[in-house]
Amino acid sequence: MSLSLIFDMDGTLFQTNKILEISLQETFNQLRIMNLWEKETPIEKYREIMGVPLPVVWETLLPDHTNIVREQANEFFHEKLITNINEGNGGLYPNVKEVFGFLKERGCSIYIASNGQVEYLNEIVKFYHLDQWVSETFSIEQIQTQNKADLVQTIMKKYKIEKGAVVGDRLSDIIAAKSNGLIAIGCNFDFAQEGEMSQADIKIDSLQELMSLECILN
């Protein structure tokens, strides 16, 4: 039986922190120009909730604003993220391509499941040529429930996955794995939280460790 690995994107494969701050600053500067924001940019608050669906992000960052303003902020934010990706300001975590090549050589199937928007994810995949290893990239936008576990279930059904793991840095990734009978591999990276990582079946400090995990490669 072949093994399938489903990877989160932000904070797992892609070092979102490299473009997060500048894109968020530019977004809130725009809100200031529109007289819709006066306080400091809530960067730390965003870091705390990194990985939740986008509607929740903007409800949290702009709790006193209308949905129209939240949607405008989200659109502007993603325009800036994509610009920064294409200007090379972001970056993959170390050894992503090496690990993907290793896994593919051993017959593993690789997928991406993310709470990010479709266009944003596609830009990352295209810029770093990840499609040479990744079978398909899935966004939470593609399902109605906005639930990561349901997104993983959708992938499993489409590709008839019976054995595999979800690799991610947040609790939603761990829950998505366990609720679907997969191994939960927690990435103890930039946005990871200790309490969440303790619930993973396996915790890694670098993606390269996937190359020596006998429990998933055998």
Domain ranges in the chain are: 4-15+92-217, 17-86
Helices (H), 87-212: 96-105, 118-127, 148-159, 171-179, 194-197
pLDDT of 212 reads 86
Q: Are 20 and 14 in contact (CB under 8 A)?
A: no
Using 50, 70 and 90 to split pLDDT, how confident is the model at 217?
low
Predicted confidence at residue 53, as pLDDT, reads 79
Q: pTM here?
A: 0.92
Residue 5's DSSP bridge partners are: 110, 165
8/163 Cα distance (integer angstroms): 17
Least confident window among 191-195, 198-202, 210-214: 210-214
> Which pLDDT does position 160 carry in this prediction?
97
- Cα–Cα nearest to 28, from 16, 18, 17, 42: 42
Does residue 1 have a pLDDT over 60?
Answer: no
Residue 2 has what pLDDT? Answer: 79
37: number of Cβ within 10 Å: 20
For the chain, what is the mean pLDDT? 93
DSSP state of 137: E
Residues 159/134, Cβ–Cβ less than 8 Å: no
Give the pLDDT band of residue 213 (cuts 50, 70, 90): confident
Structure token digits, residue 37: 């924001």
State what percent of residues in the chain have pLDDT above 70: 97
Contact (Cβ atoms closer than 8 angstroms) between residue 114 and residue 23: no
- CATH of the domain spanning 4-15+92-217: 3.40.50.1000
With a cut of 60, say whether residue 100 has pLDDT above it: yes
Q: What's the rounded mean pLDDT across residues 102-109?
A: 92
What distance in Å separates the CA atoms of residue 130 and residue 101, rounded to the nearest whole number?
Answer: 10
Please state the rounded mean pLDDT for residues 72-81. Answer: 95
Alpha-carbon distances, residue 207 vs 32, 55, 67, 80, 117 (angstroms): 39, 29, 38, 27, 23
pLDDT > 70? residue 50 = yes
At residue 215, the pLDDT reads: 53
Mean pLDDT of 76-88: 95
CA angle (39 as vertex; 38, 45 as ends), nearest 5: 140
Mean pLDDT confidence for 179-189: 96
